[in-house]
Amino acid sequence: GTALRLVLPLVVLAICGTLVEDVSNNWAVLYLGTEAGAPVGIAALALTVVLVSQFVGRLVGDPMTDRWGREAVARSGGLLIAAGMALAMLSAPYPVAFVGFALMGFGSATLVPAAFAAADRVPGLPAGTGIALLGWLMRIGFLVTSPAVGALSDVASLRVALLIPLAAGLLAAVLSHRAGRVGRAPTDGRG
């Protein structure tokens, strides 16, 4: 019903956030080593860069949300994911690609918490049900995103396949209004 229609965009928003980790886990090192020309030892730091920037984003996520609101922070996060992926894809020197991956990690940091906070406020669902639905359904992203990147890289190239996280960032920016508007005003609450 209506509650499920409110939860599904939040699931997609959460998948957009988890996709960054999934792509980083499975493709970032390969991308930096084969497409961006990074030495193997340096390319291996790609996941670390994403996770450290994501950690920093989580530390400052609540204060940012308190100051600017969940909607604005989630929208900015989606745009940072897209900008970071564009920078990583288009950069010739691999150090610039690391900056792109750092932007992606920071941008993704608040998307899943924002989606969970909004899911807990979905009207018509008992307490905790929205969170449970979101947690279960967002796992679909892990089953789909990395194979999609692999399939597209087989058809085109890994550089082209990284349009998937870029598109996810843009989609997250578009969907972010749901994270702030489900249940109460977009600037209320913590993320």
Residue 2 has a pLDDT of 81
pTM: 0.89
- Read off the pLDDT of residues 164-184 as tens digits, 9 standing for 90 and up: 999 999 999 999 865 656 655
Amino acid type, 51 = L
All residues at 6 or more sequence positions from 74 whose CB lies less than 8 Å from its CB, including other chains: 13, 110, 111, 114, 172, 173, 176, 179, 180, 191
Token pair 């997250």: residue: 172
Least Cα distance to 116 among 13, 38, 2 occurs for 13
Token pair 């905790």: residue: 128
**What are residue 188's phi and psi, to 5 degrees?**
-85, 150
Residue 5 has a pLDDT of 87
Query: In what helix (H) or strand (E) does residue 8 lie, and over which residues does it extend?
Result: helix 2-23
Alpha carbon of residue 138 to chain centroid: 12
pLDDT surpassing 70 at residue 114: yes
- Read off the pLDDT of residues 3-29 as tens digits, 9 standing for 90 and up: 888 899 999 999 999 999 899 999 999
Q: Two tokens at 126?
A: 């008992």
Question: Burial of 23 by CB count in 10 Å (0-12 exposed, 13-18 middle, 19+ buried)?
Answer: buried
